[in-house]
């Protein structure tokens, strides 16, 4: 029976997942470890509103469990040694160097974890891949563990996380399914059953699926690829809607009522972002190519090509509409996070739209209710499209949305934060330069109302 869990990686996946396991399994001690001292300090901080990750409901869960059976620490070795089960929940970014650059997942953090576990472990362990990994990664982990370990037994399981950011706590409390892949040996099955028993503390057994390791690894990539593909499919239609006078919202509703298609994930947008979709599809494409499956690779790559096109198309639409020049014009950017209810900005469409506008020498005033100034500049500087000084000169982060829009020529809505819907748009309009333009990248706002106020409106997927 698993009584002591260690999770390596206190990020967007490890933090919330372990908090919910601790909440639902008071008899299990859960220790989340990370190399990043600042991150661990923030998890241990006095102020629960300032945890390193913002997720609705997370602060309450951490407050209830921290110090009871949930602990955050940088002492990785100790936590590994004490645990019966070790979750690996470190980041697996796209490689930025060498073979597979720009496509394959970088597994260096995973390998380091495996080596550390092998070095430290003095008793049998179940090692669980939580991070999304290329299919057959478990093979490499097993090789490291079995060939460099201290002779103890390691069982490796794949248990991918399907939570979405912004709804992480709700998704974890009530998952559609939990997926556990294990080796099809007697010991492999026993290990999988032990993990099933942990989830059974709150998930109905019928929703806990067990498979072989490779199916589990590949299912996670497949799920993300299918979801992203739906967004690219509706976004492709959004462009067609704009030129034909159709309304993508109406089209989505019309097709979504077909029970075979279903209504979810059909919202046209300025493009999907987040840490998973692009990374996982690139990885899938790379894997397909490495097996010589070029048609399969090309098929999935198109999902990314369309997404990049959507972001560029939105930015160039702004430039075109503002009389083909935005140089020296002020544009208010409302929303920087990749979607609402998160402070995560990884691969956010806002970064790329802002970058295109900055290339045209626009001045930007950015407002996001949860993203801080340092993050916005870090995102822009990372692209290296221009010097840090130029970014500082052209971009201002404003804590008040009304202030951000004051004096602006145009507004670009790039995240679907609920608060944008209840703004006093009349007041905002009055403070802007005329003609006042609004570009709705999330099909979020009531265009008819905005037009009545006087705005010149554009919304993804709406023809005129
Ligand atoms: C995703 C998967 O949903 C989750 O199961 C997996 O574990 C991790 O990747 P996440 O990246 O947190 O989760 O966000 P998600 O809600 O899936 O949204 C991804 C992006 O797609 C966002 O930028 C979102 O705005 C966009 N999106 C989503 C759309 O543009 N339209 C939609 O209809 C849905
Ligand atoms: P995710 O979205 O997958 O959770 P994050 O980047 O938010 O990704 O979190 C991953 C965390 O893993 C980071 O905080 C990073 O410091 C941590 N990490 C990476 N490698 C190791 C390691 N070898 N030991 C401990 N922590 C690690």
Provide mean pLDDT across the span 269-282. 95
User: Which pLDDT belongs to residue 22?
Assistant: 98
Q: Give residue-wise pLDDT tens across range 92-138.
A: 888 889 988 888 888 899 999 999 999 999 999 999 999 888 878 88
Coil vs helix vs strand at 234: helix
User: Which pLDDT belongs to residue 464?
Assistant: 66
Output the six-digit token pair for 253. 């509703």
Residue 241 catalytic? no
Instruction: Count how many Cα atoms sit within 13 Å of the Cα of residue 232 in the half-sphere of its side chain.
Output: 21
Nearest-atom number in ligand 2 for the CA of 116 is: 23
Q: Give residue-wise pLDDT tens across range 4-58.
A: 999 999 999 999 999 999 999 999 999 999 999 999 999 999 999 889 998 999 9
Q: Is the CB of 164 under 6 A from ligand 2?
A: no
Lowest mean pLDDT across 140-154, 353-367, 372-386, 417-431: 140-154
CA of 355 to the centre of ligand 1 (A): 22
Q: Give residue-wise pLDDT tens across range 164-207.
A: 999 999 999 999 999 999 999 999 999 999 999 999 999 999 99
Mean pLDDT of the chain: 95
Query: Has residue 216 got a pLDDT over 80?
Result: yes
Check: CB of residue 76 under 8 Å from CB of residue 35: yes
Output the six-digit token pair for 327. 């140089």
Residues in Cβ contact with 157 at an 8 Å cutoff, skipping those fewer than 6 apart: 126, 127, 128, 129, 180, 181, 182, 191, 192, 195, 213
User: Which pLDDT belongs to residue 147?
Assistant: 87
Q: Is the CB of 345 under 6 A from ligand 2?
A: no
Q: Is the CB of 360 under 6 A from ligand 1?
A: no
Q: How confident is the model at residue 151 (pLDDT cuts 50, 70, 90)?
A: confident
Is the dihedral angle over the CA atoms 360, 361, 367, 370 positive or is it negative? positive
């Amino acid at each position: 029976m698993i009584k002591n869990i260690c999770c390596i990686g206190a990020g967007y996946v490890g933090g919330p997942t372990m908090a919910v396991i601790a909440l639902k399994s008071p008899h299990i001690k859960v220790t989340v470890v990370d190399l990043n001292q600042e991150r661990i300090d923030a998890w241990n901080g006095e102020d629960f509103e300032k945890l390193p990750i913002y997720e609705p409901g997370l602060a309450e869960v951490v407050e209830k469990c921290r110090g009871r059976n949930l602990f955050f620490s940088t002492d990785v070795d100790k936590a590994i040694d004490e645990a019966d089960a070790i979750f690996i929940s470190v980041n697996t970014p796209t490689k930025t160097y060498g073979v597979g650059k720009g496509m394959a997942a970088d597994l260096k953090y995973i390998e380091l974890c495996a080596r550390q576990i092998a070095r430290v472990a003095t008793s049998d362990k179940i090692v669980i891949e939580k991070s999304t990994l290329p299919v057959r990664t478990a093979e490499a982990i097993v090789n490291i563990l079995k060939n460099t370990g201290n002779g103890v037994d390691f069982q490796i399981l794949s248990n991918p996380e399907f939570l979405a950011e912004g709804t992480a706590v709700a998704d974890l409390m009530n998952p559609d399914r939990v997926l556990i892949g294990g080796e099809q040996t007697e010991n492999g099955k026993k290990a999988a059953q032990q993990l099933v028993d942990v989830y059974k503390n709150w998930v109905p057994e019928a929703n806990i699926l067990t498979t072989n390791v490779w199916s589990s690894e590949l299912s996670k990539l497949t799920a993300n690829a299918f979801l992203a593909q739906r967004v690219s499919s509706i976004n492709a239609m959004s462009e067609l809607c704009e030129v034909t006078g159709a309304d993508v919202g109406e089209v989505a509703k019309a097709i979504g009522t077909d029970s075979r298609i279903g209504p979810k994930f059909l919202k046209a947008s300025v493009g999907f972002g987040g840490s998973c979709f692009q990374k996982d599809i690139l990885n899938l494409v790379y894997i397909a190519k490495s097996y010589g499956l070029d048609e399969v690779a090309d098929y999935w790559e198109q999902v990314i090509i369309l997404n990049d096109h959507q972001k560029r198309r939105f930015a160039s639409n702004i430039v075109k509409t503002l009389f083909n020049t935005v140089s020296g014009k002020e544009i208010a950017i409302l929303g920087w996070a990749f979607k609402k209810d998160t402070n995560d900005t990884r691969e956010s469409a806002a970064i790329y739209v802002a970058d295109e506008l900055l290339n045209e020498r626009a001045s930007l005033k950015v407002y996001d209710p949860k993203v801080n100034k340092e993050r916005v500049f870090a995102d822009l500087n990372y692209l290296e499209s221009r010097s840090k000084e130029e970014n500082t000169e052209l971009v201002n982060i404003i804590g008040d949305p009304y202030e951000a829009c004051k004096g602006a020529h145009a507004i670009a809505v790039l995240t679907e934060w609920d608060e944008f819907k209840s703004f006093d748009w009349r007041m905002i309009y009055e403070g802007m330069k005329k003609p006042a333009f609004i570009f709705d990248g999330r099909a979020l706002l009531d265009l008819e109302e905005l037009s009545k106020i006087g705005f010149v409106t554009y919304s993804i997927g709406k023809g005129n």
